[in-house]
Structure 1
Amino acid sequence: MAVHSKDKALMCKVLPSSLGPVAMRWFDSLRANSINSFKELTQAFGSHFVTCRRVARPLASLLSLSMQEGKTLKTYSDRYWEMFNEMEGDCDGVALNTFKIGLPTNHGLRKSLTGKLVTNVRQLIDYIDKYKRVEEDQQQEKGKEKVIP
């Protein structure tokens, strides 16, 4: 595929030949004409396969996740997406609701998601990434404060 990386239309057609059974099942489930570019295809793929696991989990395991006190948004997010990718079927609608419910009620991201209409997993991941960056910046600032005499 690297040889043809400039030809995005060809990349879209060649991609399925490099997919395993789980990814191929996802690819086959895409609605006709729902992807308009190779960039959209790679974003959709990345959104769906945040991590790669093959053992299917019941929906109840996703519903039981919550952000533990004293843990970071990154830790919660990583655990959530790992489990999300182990779910069978289309769980996008569930993800949009259960991720928010798992956050503490006073968390800024939960408040933000309550006020905004998030319609797909890609949007949700974008919101989460923004808040993770803020959280990381805050942790770095705290670290600098400790170093200053």
Structure 2
Amino acid sequence: MTEKQLSEEFLARFVSNTKIPKESDTLFGLRKEQEETLHSYARRYWEEYNDLEENVCSEQMAIMSFKYGLCPESKLRQSLTKRPPTALKDLRARIKQDARLEDDQILIEEASTEQTARHKKRTDRGKHQGLTVNEVDKSKSHEAIVTVFKEPIYRILEKIKREPFFIWSPKMLGDPARRNQKLRCTYHQDRGHMIQNCRPLKQHLEDLVVARHLRDYIDQDKAVTEPGNPPPEPNIEHPPRPIINVIHGTATQERKEALK
């Protein structure tokens, strides 16, 4: 290979590996995607900005291009329009603040979604087992509470609250200000009454007993019969009655003459 050929091959490889400098127009081509977080968009933007040649893009042009990449409904874009940053340092600080708020909001929404999913799962599990959730938080006065337990219901709640058949009640409806805020119900996880007086919890425990749960917690010595079945009559022994023996038959002629 001649010297000329070597020179041409060297130049060809050198040119192909040369990084083409980016212009400031590159920044105006960036857009924040609809599902993209502000943190992710800012990271992409600064990567492109750092690849620019020196003195190609002024700070005001960089601020404008970043704002232009945000959607018109963005709170940050509206803020940058009302109070334009004077330098990139100010822009970075405001991006960091808004990105932190957005991340916190995402965590809150994820936690709320997870909590809703757990509640729905418990509700579906209860329906599958033939149980219902007391969604309106009012007593089932038409159903009697007949089971007697060995211990207070708040202790039973603590022991069975992680069982798959147990269903938590939603918070009570109505104005909280009208309820007694000094009393708190663990079953409702809300204030208004004491757990000892919680009718929905008592009814839920009764439903679980009917579904053949909680056998170990029932006081068999004080068990009450199911609704609609009258209790058996007590077995009371009656005192012995006097017995009168009567002789039946007709008197013969010989006995009549003997009695004369």
Give TM-score scaled by structure 2 length. 0.35
Aligned match of 2:98: 131
| Structure 2 Cα separation of the partners of residues 129 and 55 of structure 1 | 31
Name which of 47, 69, 75 aligns with 1:82: 47
Do residues 68 (structure 1) and 33 (structure 2) align?
yes
When Rg is computed on C-alpha atoms for both structures, the one with the higher figure is: 2
Shift of 1:117: 2.8
Deviates more, 1:92-101 or 1:132-141: 92-101
Aligned match of 2:79: 112
Deviates more, 1:119-128 or 1:64-73: 64-73
Aligned match of 1:95: 62
Contact 1:62–1:98 under 8 Å retained in 2? yes
Partner AA of 1:96 in structure 2: I
Cα 1:55/1:79, change in 2 over 3 Å:
farther
The 4+ residue runs of structure 1 with deviation greater than 3 A are none
Aligned match of 1:45: none
Aligned match of 2:110: 143
- Paired residues in the alignment total 96
Equivalent residue runs for 1:3-42 within 5 Å: none
| Structure 1 Cα separation of the partners of residues 74 and 102 of structure 2 | 11
Q: How high is the sequence identity, in percent, across the aligned residues?
A: 30
Q: For 1:80-134, what per-residue CA distance to the aligned partner results, in whole angstroms no more than 9, with x for missing partners?
A: 0000011112322211111001100000000000000311000000010011001
Q: What RMSD over aligned residues (CA atoms) do the two structures have, in Å?
A: 1.5
Q: Secondary structure at the match of 2:34?
A: coil
Name which of 18, 22, 25 aligns with 1:57: 22
- Structure 1 unaligned spans of 5+: 1-53
- Structure 2 unaligned spans of 5+: 1-18, 120-260
| Structure 2 Cα separation of the partners of residues 95 and 59 of structure 1 | 8
| Structure 2 Cα separation of the partners of residues 55 and 142 of structure 1 | 43
